[in-house]
Amino acid sequence: MAKHATPLLDQLESGPWPSFVSDLKQEAASRAKNEKNVEFQVPQDCVEDLLGVLELSYKHGVTHWKHGGIVGVFGYGGGVIGRYCDQPETFPGVAHFHTMRINQPGAKYYTTEFLKKLCDLWEFRGSGVTNMHGSTGDIIFIGTSTPQLEEIFYELTHNFNQDLGGSGSNLRTPSDCIGSSRCEYSCYDTQAICYALTQEYQDELHRPAFPYKFKFKFDGCPNCCVASIARADISFVGTWKDDIKIDQEAVAGYVGGEFAPNGGAHSGRDWGKFDIDKEVCDLCPTKCMKYEGGKLLINNKECTRCMHCINVMPRALHIGDDRGCSMLVGAKAPILDGAQMGSLLVPFIKVEEPYDEIKEVIEAIWDWWMEEGKNRERLGELIKRQGFQKLLEMTNIKPVPQHVQEPRHNPYIFWKEDEVGGWDRDINEFREKHQR
């Protein structure tokens, strides 16, 4: 018998899509049964209470969670989000219900061995409820009490060789797309640099020295499967400088209907015979392609590496060999000043161990932001406030037309004194030539 009736939530058990309610219920039942005799370190019925408080929110149309307050592990500024229920008498199992962020492995590959161990730990010391994964990328353990935080951290570091992820005003857990590990489009090894920088910047990750949060995300190519361009203070997006490699035979295979376009992504509808002109050349944003005499020609100088043609004909077209990434900066959610996507700062940079050139850019940005950023001001907002020029100046990057989609249309140029031969002038001298 469930501890709380959940008539509203129960309606979310039907329908084909996996029901989180059913899953929570199975967990609640499993904890109630406790076949393995786990010595639960948080209330055994916490999942019941979680269902109960959620049901109450469904009834009231509002949340029943309060502000977190500052909880965490000693010496770390992040990794834990404190959370308390505003109905602790009714739902004592979730009265304290903090989350922990566990730094996920690159591209979220797991062995079952590791995962199962995590499950054991979390069942024992927490609610057994998780998010696989949080929006930033972490493994999220939802629901434990304050005393368990250090215990879990101890076990993780000692028995799992595993650290917490980020929260608060620090570097957040970096994350990456699957990249070259399983994707033919990847222009660099996303996992390698993601891991290297995560390790390099452990201090920034765990000990807040920043005005606000800061995020890295690594996309192997402009398809942006980890959405870096929309949600990372620095987005690393793979690209290349030389030519797209063309296998004309495979092109013919597509034209002839031998291969399904776009790897079969459109198989659910009859779109008619593949038309390379209409589906590839005409849709190329720069119109730098031609299919002529049975050959596909690309004017690579004009190509902006949008990936479309390669996506449509993955067997025939391959990314170039002179690979690296573009770095874009400032993406963030709407609060406070409006959402931003990343703005291109470094058009092309090699992604090679030990990533020194890249680190230089990162650190120059941080120096500036830590110096000038206001409390709770994201990098993107600082760039807006002080200007893109200032960013270039502070990172010592030469302005190039690639930095802009278009040049300014207002002529309000803030000239500096040393650019115009000084501002000091004498009114009396002026008046000699110009009477009042």
Total of residues contacting another protein (CB under 8 A) = 205
Closest to ligand SF4 by CB, 142 vs 298, is 298
Residue with tokens 């209907």: 257
The per-residue DSSP string of 324-360 comes to EEEEEE--B-STTT--BPPEEEEEEE---TT-HHHHH
Q: Out of 286, 321, 350, 360, which residue is the one contacting ligand SF4 (CB under 6 A)?
A: 286
By beta-carbon proximity to another protein, the closer residue of 293 and 410 is 410
Which H helix or E strand runs over 132? strand 129-132
Nearest alpha-carbon partner for 76 in 102, 97, 53: 102
Q: Which two tokens stand for residue 353?
A: 């161990």
Contact between 297 and ligand SF4 per CB under 6 A: no
Q: Which does 378 bind (CB under 5 to 8 A by kind): ligand SRM, another protein, ligand SF4, none?
A: ligand SRM
Query: Mask 412-431, x = binds another protein (CB under 8 A)?
Result: xxxx-x-xxx-x-x-x--xx
Q: Can residue 332 be called a binding residue for ligand SRM (CB under 6 A)?
A: yes
Tell me whether residue 112 or residue 410 sits nearer to its own copies (CB atom): 410
Selection from its own copies, ligand SF4, another protein, none that 359 binds (CB < 5 to 8 A by kind) is none
Instruction: Report if residue 122 touches another protein, rule: CB under 8 A.
Output: yes
Chain centroid offset of residue 149 CA: 26
Show the tokens assigned to 330: 């400032």
* Positions 296 through 325 that interact with ligand SRM (CB under 6 A): 311
Q: Which residues contact 249 (CB under 8 A, 6 or more apart)?
A: 316
- Asked whether position 137 contacts ligand SRM by CB under 6 A, the answer is yes
Q: Is the Cβ–Cβ distance between 165 and 215 less than 8 Å? A: no
- Cβ neighbours of residue 231 under 8 Å, at least 6 residues apart? 135, 215, 217, 331, 332, 333
What is the torsional sign of CA 269, 275, 276, 277?
A: negative
- For the segment 4-23, give every residue that binds ligand SRM (CB under 6 A): none
Q: Is 165 exposed, middle or buried (0-12, 13-18, 19+ CB in 10 A)?
A: buried
Task: State which of positions 381-420 bind ligand SRM (CB under 6 A).
Answer: none
- Identify which of residues 263 and 387 has a Cβ nearer to its own copies in the complex: 387
| Contact set with ligand SRM (CB under 6 A) | 81, 83, 99, 101, 107, 131, 133-138, 140, 165, 173, 177-178, 183-185, 213, 215, 223-225, 227, 231, 262-263, 265, 311, 332-333, 335, 378
| Contact set with ligand SF4 (CB under 6 A) | 177-179, 183, 185-186, 219-221, 223-225, 284-286, 288-289, 298, 303-310
